[in-house]
A and B are shown apart, each in its own frame.
Chain A
Amino acid sequence: MHELAICQSLINQVESIALQHQARNVSLIVVGIGPLSGVEAQLLKNAYPIASAGSVAENTELVIEYLPVKVKCNKCGCESDALPNKLVCKQCGNWQTSLVSGDELLLMSVELEKDDAPKDSPSITSIH
């Protein structure tokens, strides 16, 4: 049930981005979730209408991108797909691996609507 708390945190971030860019509306939110983040995508979706009620993100489409679990072998260096509870190297079977992807819990992007937006407004990227 921690998905509601996480969803509230998401809405806070979206609200501050919308404010920062003086946006009228938020038309799309994309989050990226890996299975090892400990967050259930469906529960996040269920929590979304409750957390977003009355905010600038109310009724905004929420898209969840599922990020794969990938590991890199500490022995043979091979990068392979893995299961959340089987993070072993597919190539050589070694269990000493490092996680390359799969524990993400990210707000990836938001799409904003502005009153004075020119027709071909540039895409702004702010990676921190």
Chain B
Amino acid sequence: MCDTCGCNITHGNENFIKPGGKLHKTESGKEAVTVLHSLLNENDHTAKHNKDHFDQHQVLAINLMSSPGAGKTALLEATIQQLDKDIKIAVIEGDLETENDAERIRQHGVEAIQISTGSACHLDAHMIHQALHNLDLSKFDIVFIENVGNLVCPASFDLGQHLDVTLLSVPEGDDKPAKYPVMFRKSDLVVISKSDLLPILDDFKPERAKGYLQDIASTAPILELSSKNKQGMPEWIDWINQQISKRKQYLQQHPVTAGNHSHTHEHHHG
């Protein structure tokens, strides 16, 4: 996005709209309208709305992404056990089918909303908005959104989250950041999960994964973690606590006013 006026002219597309560029001329009798809006305008609008919801209630929203079976739910279960009990957690689960993951979370006494996406391969901002209608955000400090297991599609849809965490499990191989640069590039933290398997699957080299992350100019911290033997859990918990305080500090300096959060519809929370 352009720094001067906030429009979407970038080095990549300015050639097309400059005088003499491909998009500048049109046949007579026709009208060319230069738009330069994101194709995901509607989604982004709802995502902003979701973020306003979170901010109004000072709730930190973290989007967890990974391929299927990388250990997102296991990480959440371990997190529920280890996070300070004063920090109130809610979880939004996204899967194509079943309530299995939400059931696992509820067994720990934590409120969980299951979104069944049917055949959709990702969560979008509208689905999160629907879920938020069933969640009383005033009761929580943090909401984890467990996205559909998929390293491709979820990367394109903003949900209104504050932070993206991507899990890369040891059995998947250390070159996943090179294969799926779009998702890993947008991550605020990369967790190398199932680290207890490193001694067995010794062809996974954490250093190599870090090298691939540098190749995509990622400055995200990297955490080796095992939800099973709890290696890396203290660092993960510290990171979450830091992010909660950072968000609270930010909101003290940039308070959300009612005007920031307008509605065209009625909400029925709770």
Contacts and interface: CB of A to CB of B under 8 A. Distances in A.
Interface of A: 1-2, 5-6, 9-10, 12-13, 17, 21, 23, 27, 30-32, 34, 36-39, 65, 67-68, 70-71, 79, 84-88, 95-114, 117, 119-128
Given A38-B152, A128-B7, A2 B24 contact: no
A66 B168 CA distance: 30
A37 B39 CA distance: 11
A118 B238 CA distance: 65
Contacts of B25: 123
Nearest to B213: A95
Given A2-B153, A21-B31, A21-B33, A105 B38 contact: yes
A121 B30 contact: yes
Interface of B: 5, 7-13, 16-17, 22-26, 28-43, 120-122, 124, 152-153, 155-157, 177-179, 181-183, 185, 212, 214-217, 219
Contacts of A122: 31
Given A99-B217, A119-B28, A108 B34 contact: yes
B182 to A, nearest CB: 4
B153 A10 contact: no
A106 B36 contact: yes
Contacts of B42: 9, 12-13
A38 B178 CA distance: 14
B95 to A, nearest CB: 16
B13 A113 contact: no
Contact of B31 (A23, A38, A97): A23
A109 B23 contact: yes
Given A38-B156, A88-B217, A104-B8, A31 B29 contact: no
A119 B10 CA distance: 32
Nearest to A6: B39
Given A68-B12, A126-B35, A128-B36, 14 more contacts: A2-B157, A9-B39, A13-B37, A21-B31, A39-B156, A84-B181, A85-B215, A96-B219, A97-B217, A107-B35, A109-B33, A113-B29, A127-B7, A128-B7
